[in-house]
A = this chain, B = another copy of it.
Amino acid sequence: MIVVMSHNAKKEHIEKVMNRLKKEGFDLHLSQGVSRAIIGIIGDKARLAGLAIEAMPGVEKVVPILQPFKLAGWDFKPEETVVEIVPGVEIGGKQVHVIAGPCAVENEEQIISVAKEVKAAGATLLRGGAFKPRSSPYSFQGLEETGLKLLAQARRETGLPVVTEIMDVRNLPLVAEYADVLQVGARNMQNFFLLKELGQVDKPVILKRGPSATIEEWILAAEYIMSAGNHKVILCERGIRTFETYTRNTLDLSAVPAVKHLTHLPIIVDPSHGTGKWRMVQPMSRAALAAGADGLMVEVHCSPEEALSDGQQSLTPENFREMMRELNSLAQALGREVTGGTL
Protein backbone atom coordinates (compact mmCIF):
# COMPACT_ATOMS: atom_id res chain seq x y z
CA MET A 1 0.00 0.00 0.00
CA ILE A 2 1.19 3.50 -0.78
CA VAL A 3 0.10 6.57 1.15
CA VAL A 4 0.27 9.77 -0.92
CA MET A 5 0.35 12.87 1.28
CA SER A 6 -1.22 16.07 -0.01
CA HIS A 7 1.11 18.77 -1.32
CA ASN A 8 0.44 20.98 1.66
CA ALA A 9 0.72 18.24 4.30
CA LYS A 10 2.77 19.35 7.28
CA LYS A 11 5.69 17.49 8.72
CA GLU A 12 3.61 16.53 11.75
CA HIS A 13 0.96 14.96 9.51
CA ILE A 14 3.56 12.75 7.90
CA GLU A 15 4.93 11.78 11.29
CA LYS A 16 1.50 10.99 12.65
CA VAL A 17 0.75 8.64 9.76
CA MET A 18 4.13 6.95 10.07
CA ASN A 19 3.81 6.55 13.83
CA ARG A 20 0.41 4.97 13.51
CA LEU A 21 1.65 2.48 10.92
CA LYS A 22 4.80 1.67 12.90
CA LYS A 23 2.66 1.07 15.99
CA GLU A 24 0.72 -1.48 13.94
CA GLY A 25 3.98 -3.21 13.12
CA PHE A 26 4.50 -2.29 9.45
CA ASP A 27 7.81 -1.58 7.75
CA LEU A 28 7.82 1.80 6.03
CA HIS A 29 9.72 3.62 3.31
CA LEU A 30 9.37 7.38 3.11
CA SER A 31 10.00 9.03 -0.28
CA GLN A 32 10.17 12.80 0.08
CA GLY A 33 9.59 14.19 -3.42
CA VAL A 34 9.69 17.77 -4.58
CA SER A 35 5.96 18.30 -4.42
CA ARG A 36 4.88 15.76 -1.84
CA ALA A 37 5.80 12.84 0.41
CA ILE A 38 4.91 9.24 -0.36
CA ILE A 39 4.98 6.46 2.20
CA GLY A 40 5.42 2.85 1.10
CA ILE A 41 4.18 0.14 3.44
CA ILE A 42 5.32 -3.47 3.66
CA GLY A 43 3.48 -6.07 5.70
CA ASP A 44 0.34 -8.16 5.99
CA LYS A 45 -1.95 -6.78 3.34
CA ALA A 46 -5.13 -8.14 4.88
CA ARG A 47 -4.65 -6.32 8.15
CA LEU A 48 -3.68 -3.13 6.37
CA ALA A 49 -6.98 -2.98 4.53
CA GLY A 50 -8.82 -2.34 7.79
CA LEU A 51 -7.01 0.89 8.65
CA ALA A 52 -8.63 4.16 7.67
CA ILE A 53 -5.43 5.97 6.80
CA GLU A 54 -7.31 8.09 4.24
CA ALA A 55 -9.19 9.72 7.08
CA MET A 56 -5.98 11.09 8.66
CA PRO A 57 -5.17 14.76 8.16
CA GLY A 58 -2.76 15.57 5.33
CA VAL A 59 -3.44 12.35 3.45
CA GLU A 60 -4.32 12.80 -0.23
CA LYS A 61 -5.08 9.18 -1.06
CA VAL A 62 -4.14 5.59 -0.40
CA VAL A 63 -3.18 3.40 -3.33
CA PRO A 64 -3.38 -0.37 -2.92
CA ILE A 65 -0.56 -2.25 -4.58
CA LEU A 66 -1.11 -5.92 -4.05
CA GLN A 67 -3.96 -8.29 -4.69
CA PRO A 68 -6.03 -8.61 -1.54
CA PHE A 69 -6.61 -12.35 -1.82
CA LYS A 70 -4.39 -15.17 -0.58
CA LEU A 71 -5.76 -18.70 -0.94
CA ALA A 72 -7.04 -18.09 -4.46
CA GLY A 73 -3.74 -16.65 -5.67
CA TRP A 74 -0.74 -18.27 -7.33
CA ASP A 75 1.49 -17.24 -4.42
CA PHE A 76 -0.43 -19.68 -2.26
CA LYS A 77 -0.78 -22.57 -4.73
CA PRO A 78 1.34 -22.71 -7.87
CA GLU A 79 -0.62 -25.44 -9.73
CA GLU A 80 -3.97 -25.10 -11.46
CA THR A 81 -6.89 -26.38 -9.42
CA VAL A 82 -8.87 -29.24 -10.94
CA VAL A 83 -12.26 -29.74 -9.30
CA GLU A 84 -13.64 -33.26 -9.31
CA ILE A 85 -17.42 -33.23 -9.55
CA VAL A 86 -17.92 -37.00 -9.55
CA PRO A 87 -15.31 -39.59 -10.49
CA GLY A 88 -14.43 -39.05 -14.13
CA VAL A 89 -15.85 -35.51 -14.34
CA GLU A 90 -13.18 -32.95 -13.57
CA ILE A 91 -13.40 -29.22 -14.28
CA GLY A 92 -10.12 -27.45 -14.87
CA GLY A 93 -8.25 -30.10 -16.84
CA LYS A 94 -7.82 -30.74 -20.53
CA GLN A 95 -11.48 -31.55 -21.01
CA VAL A 96 -13.95 -28.70 -21.46
CA HIS A 97 -17.26 -29.57 -19.81
CA VAL A 98 -20.60 -28.38 -21.09
CA ILE A 99 -23.30 -27.98 -18.44
CA ALA A 100 -26.72 -27.82 -20.09
CA GLY A 101 -30.37 -27.85 -19.21
CA PRO A 102 -33.36 -25.61 -18.70
CA CYS A 103 -33.37 -22.36 -16.76
CA ALA A 104 -36.01 -23.75 -14.40
CA VAL A 105 -37.27 -27.26 -13.72
CA GLU A 106 -40.93 -27.11 -14.73
CA ASN A 107 -42.23 -30.68 -14.62
CA GLU A 108 -41.10 -34.28 -14.98
CA GLU A 109 -41.59 -34.59 -18.70
CA GLN A 110 -39.71 -31.35 -19.36
CA ILE A 111 -36.61 -32.07 -17.30
CA ILE A 112 -36.28 -35.73 -18.25
CA SER A 113 -36.61 -35.10 -21.96
CA VAL A 114 -34.18 -32.20 -22.01
CA ALA A 115 -31.71 -34.14 -19.86
CA LYS A 116 -31.71 -36.97 -22.38
CA GLU A 117 -31.29 -34.55 -25.26
CA VAL A 118 -28.32 -32.72 -23.79
CA LYS A 119 -26.68 -35.95 -22.68
CA ALA A 120 -27.00 -37.34 -26.20
CA ALA A 121 -25.45 -34.18 -27.61
CA GLY A 122 -22.44 -34.38 -25.33
CA ALA A 123 -23.24 -32.41 -22.20
CA THR A 124 -21.55 -33.89 -19.14
CA LEU A 125 -23.55 -32.11 -16.43
CA LEU A 126 -27.21 -31.16 -16.13
CA ARG A 127 -28.36 -27.74 -14.96
CA GLY A 128 -31.84 -26.74 -13.79
CA GLY A 129 -33.21 -24.29 -11.24
CA ALA A 130 -35.52 -25.36 -8.43
CA PHE A 131 -35.33 -22.01 -6.64
CA LYS A 132 -35.43 -19.10 -9.07
CA PRO A 133 -34.25 -15.55 -8.38
CA ARG A 134 -36.64 -13.30 -10.30
CA SER A 135 -36.65 -9.49 -10.45
CA SER A 136 -40.42 -9.44 -10.07
CA PRO A 137 -42.32 -11.08 -7.21
CA TYR A 138 -45.02 -11.91 -9.75
CA SER A 139 -42.80 -14.16 -11.91
CA PHE A 140 -42.50 -17.95 -11.52
CA GLN A 141 -40.31 -18.66 -8.48
CA GLY A 142 -39.47 -22.32 -9.05
CA LEU A 143 -40.80 -25.73 -7.94
CA GLU A 144 -38.52 -25.80 -4.87
CA GLU A 145 -38.16 -29.28 -3.31
CA THR A 146 -40.25 -30.89 -6.04
CA GLY A 147 -37.80 -29.45 -8.55
CA LEU A 148 -34.84 -30.92 -6.66
CA LYS A 149 -36.47 -34.36 -6.69
CA LEU A 150 -37.04 -34.15 -10.43
CA LEU A 151 -33.38 -33.24 -10.94
CA ALA A 152 -32.39 -36.31 -8.94
CA GLN A 153 -34.66 -38.42 -11.11
CA ALA A 154 -33.08 -36.95 -14.26
CA ARG A 155 -29.68 -37.84 -12.86
CA ARG A 156 -30.78 -41.43 -12.26
CA GLU A 157 -32.08 -41.73 -15.80
CA THR A 158 -29.10 -40.12 -17.56
CA GLY A 159 -26.16 -40.45 -15.22
CA LEU A 160 -25.49 -36.70 -15.49
CA PRO A 161 -24.38 -34.98 -12.28
CA VAL A 162 -26.67 -32.11 -11.32
CA VAL A 163 -25.90 -28.38 -10.90
CA THR A 164 -28.53 -26.26 -9.16
CA GLU A 165 -28.71 -22.90 -7.45
CA ILE A 166 -28.70 -22.33 -3.71
CA MET A 167 -30.42 -19.03 -2.93
CA ASP A 168 -31.20 -19.18 0.77
CA VAL A 169 -28.81 -20.36 3.45
CA ARG A 170 -31.67 -22.11 5.25
CA ASN A 171 -32.15 -24.43 2.26
CA LEU A 172 -28.52 -25.48 2.13
CA PRO A 173 -28.98 -28.94 3.73
CA LEU A 174 -31.89 -29.65 1.41
CA VAL A 175 -30.18 -28.50 -1.78
CA ALA A 176 -26.89 -30.18 -0.85
CA GLU A 177 -28.74 -33.46 -0.44
CA TYR A 178 -29.77 -33.44 -4.10
CA ALA A 179 -27.12 -31.44 -5.95
CA ASP A 180 -23.68 -32.52 -7.11
CA VAL A 181 -22.61 -28.93 -7.59
CA LEU A 182 -24.02 -25.93 -5.73
CA GLN A 183 -24.38 -22.79 -7.79
CA VAL A 184 -24.26 -19.29 -6.30
CA GLY A 185 -26.18 -16.88 -8.51
CA ALA A 186 -24.86 -13.53 -9.61
CA ARG A 187 -27.13 -11.61 -7.25
CA ASN A 188 -25.80 -13.63 -4.30
CA MET A 189 -22.10 -13.29 -5.09
CA GLN A 190 -21.66 -11.07 -2.05
CA ASN A 191 -24.15 -12.82 0.23
CA PHE A 192 -21.35 -13.35 2.69
CA PHE A 193 -23.27 -15.52 5.14
CA LEU A 194 -24.14 -17.92 2.35
CA LEU A 195 -20.51 -17.96 1.17
CA LYS A 196 -19.28 -18.79 4.66
CA GLU A 197 -21.73 -21.68 4.94
CA LEU A 198 -20.66 -23.01 1.55
CA GLY A 199 -17.14 -23.03 2.91
CA GLN A 200 -18.21 -25.78 5.28
CA VAL A 201 -19.89 -28.04 2.74
CA ASP A 202 -18.03 -30.83 0.96
CA LYS A 203 -19.41 -30.09 -2.51
CA PRO A 204 -18.02 -28.13 -5.43
CA VAL A 205 -19.39 -24.61 -5.78
CA ILE A 206 -19.93 -22.65 -9.00
CA LEU A 207 -19.61 -18.98 -8.09
CA LYS A 208 -21.18 -16.66 -10.64
CA ARG A 209 -19.77 -13.19 -11.05
CA GLY A 210 -22.03 -10.42 -9.77
CA PRO A 211 -23.32 -8.06 -12.46
CA SER A 212 -21.29 -5.17 -11.06
CA ALA A 213 -18.44 -7.08 -9.45
CA THR A 214 -14.88 -6.39 -10.44
CA ILE A 215 -12.72 -9.42 -11.10
CA GLU A 216 -10.96 -8.70 -7.81
CA GLU A 217 -14.20 -8.64 -5.80
CA TRP A 218 -15.28 -11.86 -7.45
CA ILE A 219 -12.07 -13.63 -6.46
CA LEU A 220 -12.49 -12.21 -2.94
CA ALA A 221 -15.93 -13.83 -2.84
CA ALA A 222 -14.24 -17.12 -3.75
CA GLU A 223 -11.76 -16.39 -0.95
CA TYR A 224 -14.71 -16.25 1.49
CA ILE A 225 -15.64 -19.83 0.59
CA MET A 226 -12.03 -21.01 0.58
CA SER A 227 -11.08 -19.36 3.84
CA ALA A 228 -14.00 -21.19 5.48
CA GLY A 229 -12.58 -24.50 4.32
CA ASN A 230 -13.93 -25.42 0.87
CA HIS A 231 -11.36 -25.04 -1.91
CA LYS A 232 -13.52 -26.59 -4.66
CA VAL A 233 -14.60 -23.32 -6.23
CA ILE A 234 -15.34 -22.87 -9.94
CA LEU A 235 -15.74 -19.29 -11.15
CA CYS A 236 -18.41 -18.53 -13.75
CA GLU A 237 -18.44 -15.43 -15.96
CA ARG A 238 -22.03 -14.57 -16.89
CA GLY A 239 -21.89 -11.00 -18.10
CA ILE A 240 -21.61 -7.67 -16.37
CA ARG A 241 -23.94 -4.72 -16.40
CA THR A 242 -22.95 -1.92 -18.75
CA PHE A 243 -24.68 0.83 -20.71
CA GLU A 244 -25.25 -1.48 -23.69
CA THR A 245 -28.89 -2.56 -23.92
CA TYR A 246 -28.85 -4.74 -27.02
CA THR A 247 -27.62 -7.66 -24.93
CA ARG A 248 -29.05 -8.52 -21.51
CA ASN A 249 -25.54 -8.24 -20.04
CA THR A 250 -22.09 -7.65 -21.53
CA LEU A 251 -20.25 -10.97 -21.53
CA ASP A 252 -16.73 -10.12 -20.37
CA LEU A 253 -14.61 -12.83 -21.95
CA SER A 254 -11.45 -10.98 -20.96
CA ALA A 255 -12.29 -12.26 -17.51
CA VAL A 256 -11.18 -15.72 -18.65
CA PRO A 257 -7.49 -14.92 -19.24
CA ALA A 258 -7.60 -12.43 -16.34
CA VAL A 259 -8.81 -15.07 -13.88
CA LYS A 260 -6.24 -17.53 -15.22
CA HIS A 261 -3.52 -14.95 -14.62
CA LEU A 262 -4.65 -14.03 -11.11
CA THR A 263 -5.77 -17.37 -9.66
CA HIS A 264 -5.36 -21.12 -9.91
CA LEU A 265 -9.12 -21.70 -9.93
CA PRO A 266 -11.01 -23.00 -12.99
CA ILE A 267 -13.40 -20.73 -14.85
CA ILE A 268 -16.46 -21.47 -16.95
CA VAL A 269 -18.70 -19.16 -19.01
CA ASP A 270 -22.49 -18.82 -19.23
CA PRO A 271 -23.31 -17.28 -22.63
CA SER A 272 -27.07 -17.68 -22.12
CA HIS A 273 -27.34 -15.15 -19.30
CA GLY A 274 -24.31 -13.35 -20.68
CA THR A 275 -26.16 -12.34 -23.83
CA GLY A 276 -29.86 -13.00 -23.16
CA LYS A 277 -30.41 -13.96 -26.80
CA TRP A 278 -30.38 -17.52 -28.05
CA ARG A 279 -28.96 -16.44 -31.42
CA MET A 280 -25.78 -15.28 -29.70
CA VAL A 281 -25.19 -18.38 -27.58
CA GLN A 282 -23.48 -20.35 -30.31
CA PRO A 283 -20.89 -17.74 -31.36
CA MET A 284 -20.20 -16.71 -27.78
CA SER A 285 -19.73 -20.34 -26.69
CA ARG A 286 -17.11 -20.72 -29.38
CA ALA A 287 -15.47 -17.49 -28.30
CA ALA A 288 -15.42 -18.56 -24.64
CA LEU A 289 -13.78 -21.83 -25.54
CA ALA A 290 -11.18 -20.03 -27.66
CA ALA A 291 -10.47 -17.60 -24.82
CA GLY A 292 -9.52 -20.52 -22.62
CA ALA A 293 -12.64 -21.33 -20.58
CA ASP A 294 -12.70 -24.69 -18.77
CA GLY A 295 -16.39 -25.18 -19.35
CA LEU A 296 -19.68 -23.72 -20.51
CA MET A 297 -23.10 -23.44 -18.92
CA VAL A 298 -25.88 -23.24 -21.47
CA GLU A 299 -29.67 -23.10 -21.26
CA VAL A 300 -31.51 -25.67 -23.37
CA HIS A 301 -35.27 -26.15 -23.49
CA CYS A 302 -37.29 -28.51 -25.67
CA SER A 303 -39.72 -25.71 -26.55
CA PRO A 304 -38.20 -22.39 -25.52
CA GLU A 305 -41.34 -20.45 -26.37
CA GLU A 306 -43.23 -22.40 -23.70
CA ALA A 307 -40.52 -21.94 -21.03
CA LEU A 308 -41.63 -20.47 -17.71
CA SER A 309 -38.47 -18.39 -17.58
CA ASP A 310 -35.69 -17.18 -19.87
CA GLY A 311 -37.09 -18.82 -22.99
CA GLN A 312 -35.65 -16.09 -25.20
CA GLN A 313 -32.12 -17.17 -24.32
CA SER A 314 -32.62 -20.97 -24.46
CA LEU A 315 -31.38 -23.16 -27.26
CA THR A 316 -33.52 -25.88 -28.78
CA PRO A 317 -32.00 -29.38 -28.65
CA GLU A 318 -31.31 -29.05 -32.36
CA ASN A 319 -29.37 -25.79 -31.93
CA PHE A 320 -27.54 -27.33 -29.00
CA ARG A 321 -26.41 -30.32 -31.07
CA GLU A 322 -25.11 -27.98 -33.75
CA MET A 323 -23.25 -25.99 -31.11
CA MET A 324 -21.67 -29.13 -29.70
CA ARG A 325 -20.48 -30.25 -33.11
CA GLU A 326 -18.80 -26.87 -33.63
CA LEU A 327 -17.24 -26.90 -30.19
CA ASN A 328 -15.82 -30.37 -30.80
CA SER A 329 -13.88 -29.38 -33.87
CA LEU A 330 -12.83 -26.11 -32.25
CA ALA A 331 -11.58 -27.87 -29.11
CA GLN A 332 -9.30 -30.06 -31.19
CA ALA A 333 -7.71 -27.05 -32.85
CA LEU A 334 -7.09 -25.65 -29.38
CA GLY A 335 -5.58 -28.81 -27.95
CA ARG A 336 -8.56 -29.47 -25.70
CA GLU A 337 -11.52 -31.85 -25.72
CA VAL A 338 -15.27 -31.42 -25.52
CA THR A 339 -16.45 -34.84 -24.66
CA GLY A 340 -19.27 -37.04 -24.85
CA GLY A 341 -22.18 -37.31 -27.14
CA THR A 342 -23.40 -40.19 -29.18
CA LEU A 343 -23.81 -38.02 -32.26
Pairwise interchain contact B250-A250, C-beta atoms closer than 8 A: yes
Which residues of A257-314 are within 8 A (CB) of B? 257-258, 261, 274-275, 277-280, 283-284, 286-292, 304-312, 314
Q: Mark A165-191, 1 if CB is under 8 A from B, else 0.
A: 001111000000000000000011011
This chain: copies in complex? 4
Residue pair A243, B242 in contact (C-beta under 8 Å): yes
Residue of B nearest to A75 (CB): B7
Docked pose: A192 CA to B329 CA in angstroms = 42
CB A269 to nearest CB in B, in angstroms, measures 10
Contact count band on A? 35 or more
A42 touches B50 (CB 8 A): no
Q: In the complex, A215→B312 CA distance in Å?
A: 20
Q: Is A86 part of the contact surface with B, judged by Cβ < 8 Å?
A: no
Least Cβ distance of A288 to chain B in Å?
A: 7
Instruction: Pick the residue among B223, B280, B333 that contacts A137 (CB under 8 A).
Output: B223
- Once A133-B190, A138-B46, A304-B55 are accepted as A-B contacts, the answer to whether A243 and B241 lie under 8 Å apart by CB is yes
0/1 interface trace, chain A 209-229, chain B, CB 8 Å (1 if under): 011101111001001100110
Instruction: Give the interface of A toward B (CB within 8 A).
Output: 2, 4, 7, 20, 27, 29, 31, 33-36, 38, 40, 42, 46-47, 49-56, 62-63, 65-66, 68-70, 74-75, 133-141, 167-170, 187-188, 190-193, 196, 210-212, 214-217, 220, 223-224, 227-228, 240-247, 250-254, 256-258, 261, 274-275, 277-280, 283-284, 286-292, 304-312, 314, 329-330, 332-334
Chain B contacts for A275, CB-based, 8 A = 254
Whether B212 and A192, one on each chain, are in contact in the complex, defined by CB atoms closer than 8 angstroms, is: no
**For the complex, what is the distance from the CA of A138 to the CA of B192, rounded to whole Å?**
12
Contact A49 to B254, CB < 8 A, known contacts A241-B243, A286-B290, A314-B55: no
In angstroms, how far is the closest chain B Cβ from the Cβ of A108? 20
A55 and B307 within 8 A (CB): yes
How distant is the Cα of A289 from the Cα of B36 in the complex, in angstroms?
33
Is A283's CB under 8 angstroms from B279's CB?
A: no
**A276 (CB) vs chain B CBs: closest residue:** B54
How many angstroms between the C-alpha atoms of A75 and B35 in the bound complex? 8
A286 and chain B: residue at smallest CB distance: B290
**Chain B residues near A50 (CB, 8 Å)?**
139-140, 308-309
